[in-house]
Amino acid sequence: MNVLRWLFDAQIQFGDQILLVREVLGNLFGLASALGGMRRKVWAWPIGIAGNLLLFTVFMGAFFGSPNPINMLGQAGRQIMFITVSVWGWYRWRQSCRAQGTRAEGAAVIPRWASRLERLSIISILILGTIALTPIFRSLGSYEPVWSDAWIFTGSLIATYGMARGWVEFWLIWVAVDIVGVPLLWSAGYYATSLMYVFYGCFTLVGFFVWWSTRNREEKTRVQTQFPDITVDVESSKS
């Protein structure tokens, strides 16, 4: 109980601003999860869930008695969404890992490009989801500009789902989320999370190119396996 009390009360002085230890720890867990995701490791999911639980208490500041009494319903709601989708992603990657055995150097999923229909669905859901959620979040008293909160929530849902499916494009969705999230969170006083979003934006670009490279390497291996090189070295055969 004392540990929980410390966790909820601990703060870090940052100039004339206050950072909650929960916010810092939640983002560090998120970073660790992102690193695991880039390496396609199953443990990325439970680590991410732990961070989501911490950040939920941060973004429901008024409810949990935080120094920053701003409720960001989109941010808080997406933590619940993260947990829900992450449980499914965790299960999916575990099943994939069992099915592959030692394939892909122990990685849980093999990256692939989303199909044309899937890409169209990504764009449509991102736009329509933002439009639909904006008035809902506004009526619940979320922080302005509410469309930004709705965009972040919708994009995060799609990106998490895309990670579970192994889409290479899911990294680019995170970039779109981060571009909107940085100014929104900074203006709301969530400085640690805002700065982490800047780092995440750079990190997700790296993750995109890593998965892209992995996808190309896996595709080359698959083609070579299906269509092996049967050419014969004439000089060697003569000898």
Sorting pLDDT into bands at 50, 70 and 90, what band is 64? low
- Check whether 6 has a pLDDT greater than 80: no
CA distance linking residue 185 with residue 30, whole number of Å: 16
Query: Considering the chain, what is the average pLDDT of its residues?
Result: 80
Task: Output the pLDDT for position 122.
Answer: 95
Containing 109, the helix (H) or strand (E) segment is none
Q: Which residue has the higher pLDDT, 65 or 55?
A: 55
| H-helix or E-strand spanning residue 79 | helix 73-100
* Res 126: pLDDT: 95
pLDDT band at 36 (very low <50, low <70, confident <90, very high): confident
Answer whether 107's CB lies under 8 Å from 39's CB: yes
Q: Check if the beta carbon of residue 111 is closer than 8 Å to that of residue 214.
A: yes
Residue 86, pLDDT score: 87
